[in-house]
Structure 1
Amino acid sequence: MIEIDVRHRLAHAEIDAAFSAGPGITALFGRSGAGKTSIINMVAGLLQPAQGRIVVDGEPLFDSERGVCLPVHKRRIGYVFQDARLFPHLTVSQNLRYGRWFRARGTTAGEMERVLDLLDIAPLLRRLPAHLSGGEKQRVAIGRALLSAPKLLLMDEPLASLDERRKQDILPYIERLRDEMRLPVLYVSHALAEVARLADTIVLISRGRVEASGPPADILARTDLFPLTGRFEAGAVLECTIAGHDGDSGLTRLESAAGELLVPRLDIPAGSMVRARIRARDVMLATRKPAQLSALNILSARVDTVRDDPPFAEIGLSAGDATLLARITSRSLHALGLKPGRRVYAVIKATTIEHGAPARTRR
């Protein structure tokens, strides 16, 4: 368990943040300049808070009242920066082995093999950083951090310098890290789609303060947080099971708390868990069950909440045991006569549902 309660005045902002984090990925999400990187730099020991306390697994790393401030090299924290920061004159193998100097005991062959397999970097061992792609460099940087045997991993915008293709290449490796290593990770990002896919918990930071924290499904569905999370990317996050594949149509069936969903075929075995994200702007509503549509997903739902802010309206829905969010125009809201308690059908195109790689069974 990680406990953070820090206060510090910077030239551009004042940090006053308190939150806790467990195993898995805790994403510090907010706009640029919100104070996210400053907070994890305090955890790393690169920036000393004016006041507060930072505790990892019961060990205080910083405590202003007790006069405790462990030096960086004694904190057993791995740090992955936005740029990989590999040593250019060392091979991948040598960069990885550099991490072992920061651990209490030597790296075993089994530990090295596990990291190489987790990140698929064994074929890169003899290369110099100059001959790696941006995504490969970040995978090596993550491996180096893991081989230092950290109690906590910090990742500061690790995908920000990558193009969209490279981001999609590396995301599955971060998901494997989340699901297989069971290592607490503080992950800084201002990309909502990224944290919706990766995070177990989102801590929403604005102007140095924690505005909200909780599971992605809860945070992204809260209409009161739209000024901070953004209307455009808001929506629902569902934990799903692969129910099966239809070879003829090229579709995969997902079982979710909202009902069955059809998506383009996923190369994932039946029975695996995936995380699906349905954006509010991709949900259409009908008061009668539609027929002869190209959209394949039609879910029965009930209107729970209505937030009318012309020209748009956000509609909170209960579909089965799940919560969905729809964004429609105010004109459509009034034309359909939508009010809390009204039964509707949520219509979602299969091609708009985003998904992540297999995720562990949630706590």
Structure 2
Amino acid sequence: MTLEVALQHRFPGVTLDIAFTAPAGVTALHGRSGSGKTSVVNAVAGLLRPQAGRIVLDGQVLFDSAAGVNLPPHRRRMGYVFQDARLFPHLTVRQNLTYGRWFAPPGPGPDLARVVDLLGIGPILARRPGALSGGERQRVAIGRAILSRPRLLLMDEPLAALDDARKAEILPYLERLRDGLGLPVLYVSHAMSEVARLAATLVLIEAGRVTAAGPATALLSDPALAPMIGLRETGAILTARVAAHEADGLTRLDSPAGPLWLPQVAAPPGAALRLRILAQDVMLAVARPEGISALNVLPATVAEIRQGEGPGVLVRLAAGEATLLSRITRRSAGALALAPGRPVFAVLKAVAVAQEDVGSG
């Protein structure tokens, strides 16, 4: 699946001038509120007609202002999951799910039993939406969209209305859908923790324009993009595999950067994981530290140092075959005489990686 988007549209206070290509997998649109993310998704769905542009999905032109093409929404075969679930209150969960099948074209696709299993909603099929939690309602809305057999699933801030506990509940199900169905997704979110766990491709949007687009792992570890992402949210994505669950409650992971220990991870040995390691949680040392409580000490080499407007700097590190980021002060960087090529040790406390930043790979 390839989605090509190029559109221009004026709203009061902002002008959209957006262009990007989304390959197969999950593509996340990330930016501040009002940057134009939802308008882009609505244009792809056919709910907004841009003043100019062209939108193409797998070679089929959905919209072309120059050629006068504008397919209506029902012919685009999109599944749309909104911020609020928008379930039919008088129907049961099963009936809400099967409602999506009325719009499914003939041919193969995920069946009801498979979707129910992936979303973990078997025990609630007989309930009505009023008896569901927010996370359960969103899972049902996602299942309904999938059962319409869309070519592309559009998700506009699907977790924004949920509290942290409900987000933590639903994110693993989104990962299961991503890995189990292979359905291409255009995912809108301003929460970097969601983007880091789910997205293969990232499109950063600011004030109606694309400022960067490409593989999420590369963009998230680029110090130049930290002002857009937010310094507190800046960090690198690291892939790892569960090596063992140890008797003291820690899980040992094998990663391209070296072995890591985290509080027990709910995944079996051999499972692939995807970790977000925040730059502010990575300390640096020029000699291997001894007599410290931090368990994770990774040999690395300074690849780049980028100074911000304040007292801090971002240091990009090559750690084995992985990339890490460290956010330290200019004073510390000077005291350590950091420069590209300098060997260092990246120090990370085992408890520094939050559970929400550990996802399936």
The TM-score normalised by the length of structure 1 is 0.95
Q: Does the Cα contact within 8 Å between 1:107 and 1:147 map onto a contact in 2? A: no
Q: Does the Cα contact within 8 Å between 1:252 and 1:264 map onto a contact in 2? A: yes
In structure 2, what is the equivalent of residue 153 of structure 1?
153
1:357 and 2:359 equivalent?
yes
Q: Does the Cα contact within 8 Å between 1:235 and 1:325 map onto a contact in 2? A: yes
Q: Does the Cα contact within 8 Å between 2:29 and 2:204 map onto a contact in 1? A: yes
1:189 and 2:193 equivalent?
no
**Residue by residue, what CA displacement relative to the aligned partner does 1:115-154 show, whole Å, maximum 9, x if unpaired?**
1111011111111111000000000000000010000000
Q: Does the Cα contact within 8 Å between 2:223 and 2:315 map onto a contact in 1? A: no
* 1:106 Cα offset (Å): 8.6
Q: Does the Cα contact within 8 Å between 1:77 and 1:152 map onto a contact in 2? A: yes
* 1:296 Cα offset (Å): 0.4
Aligned-partner Cα distance in 1 for 2:358–2:24:
19
Q: Does the Cα contact within 8 Å between 2:224 and 2:306 map onto a contact in 1? A: no
Q: Does the Cα contact within 8 Å between 1:254 and 1:261 map onto a contact in 2? A: yes
Alignment-mate amino acid for residue 171 of structure 1? L
Q: What fraction of aligned residue pairs are identical, expressed as a percent?
A: 57
Counterpart mapping for 1:130-279 below 5 A: 130-246=130-246, 248-279=247-278
* 1:105 Cα offset (Å): 3.1
Secondary structure class of the residue paired with 1:232: helix
Q: Does the Cα contact within 8 Å between 2:9 and 2:51 map onto a contact in 1? A: yes
**Which deviates more from structure 2 when the two are superposed, residues 52-61 or residues 71-80?**
52-61
Counterpart mapping for 1:32-71 below 5 A: 32-71=33-72
Alignment-mate amino acid for residue 70 of structure 1? L
Alignment-mate amino acid for residue 300 of structure 1? P
* 1:216 Cα offset (Å): 2.1
Aligned-partner Cα distance in 2 for 1:147–1:356:
28
In structure 2, what is the equivalent of residue 347 of structure 1?
347
Q: Does the Cα contact within 8 Å between 1:100 and 1:106 map onto a contact in 2? A: no
In structure 1, what is the equivalent of residue 9 of structure 2?
8
In structure 2, what is the equivalent of residue 286 of structure 1?
285
1:296 and 2:295 equivalent?
yes
Q: Does the Cα contact within 8 Å between 1:24 and 1:179 map onto a contact in 2? A: no
Secondary structure class of the residue paired with 2:186: strand
Alignment-mate amino acid for residue 264 of structure 2? R
**Residue by residue, what CA displacement relative to the aligned partner does 1:17-55 show, whole Å, maximum 9, x if unpaired?**
111112211000000000000000000010001111111
Moved over 4 A (4+): none
* 1:353 Cα offset (Å): 2.1
* 1:183 Cα offset (Å): 0.9
Q: Does the Cα contact within 8 Å between 2:275 and 2:359 map onto a contact in 1? A: no
* 1:61 Cα offset (Å): 1.1
* 1:307 Cα offset (Å): 1.9
* 1:303 Cα offset (Å): 1.2
Aligned-partner Cα distance in 2 for 1:107–1:323:
41
* 1:107 Cα offset (Å): 9.2
The TM-score normalised by the length of structure 2 is 0.96
Alignment-mate amino acid for residue 268 of structure 2? P
Aligned-partner Cα distance in 2 for 1:107–1:298:
49
* 1:357 Cα offset (Å): 3.3
Q: Does the Cα contact within 8 Å between 1:312 and 1:329 map onto a contact in 2? A: yes
Q: Tell me, which stretches of 5 or more residues in structure 2 are unaligned?
A: none
* 1:13 Cα offset (Å): 1.3
For residues 335 and 148 of structure 1, do their structure 2 counterparts lie closer, same or farther at Cα, with a shift above 3 Å needed? same
Alignment-mate amino acid for residue 299 of structure 2? S
CA root-mean-square deviation? 1.4
In structure 1, what is the equivalent of residue 23 of structure 2?
22
For residues 86 and 106 of structure 1, do their structure 2 counterparts lie closer, same or farther at Cα, with a shift above 3 Å needed? farther
**Residue by residue, what CA displacement relative to the aligned partner does 1:178-228 show, whole Å, maximum 9, x if unpaired?**
111111100000111110111111100111111111222211122221221
Alignment-mate amino acid for residue 265 of structure 1? Q
Aligned-partner Cα distance in 1 for 2:95–2:10:
39
In structure 2, what is the equivalent of residue 314 of structure 1?
314
Q: Does the Cα contact within 8 Å between 2:82 and 2:155 map onto a contact in 1? A: yes
* 1:267 Cα offset (Å): 2.3
Aligned-partner Cα distance in 2 for 1:335–1:22:
44
Secondary structure class of the residue paired with 1:332: helix
In structure 2, what is the equivalent of residue 78 of structure 1?
79
Alignment-mate amino acid for residue 166 of structure 2? R
Aligned-partner Cα distance in 2 for 1:358–1:34:
29
Q: Tell me, which stretches of 5 or more residues in structure 1 are unaligned?
A: none
Aligned-partner Cα distance in 1 for 2:72–2:340:
55
Aligned-partner Cα distance in 2 for 1:307–1:11:
36
Aligned-partner Cα distance in 1 for 2:22–2:176:
19
In structure 2, what is the equivalent of residue 94 of structure 1?
95
Aligned-partner Cα distance in 2 for 1:259–1:79:
40
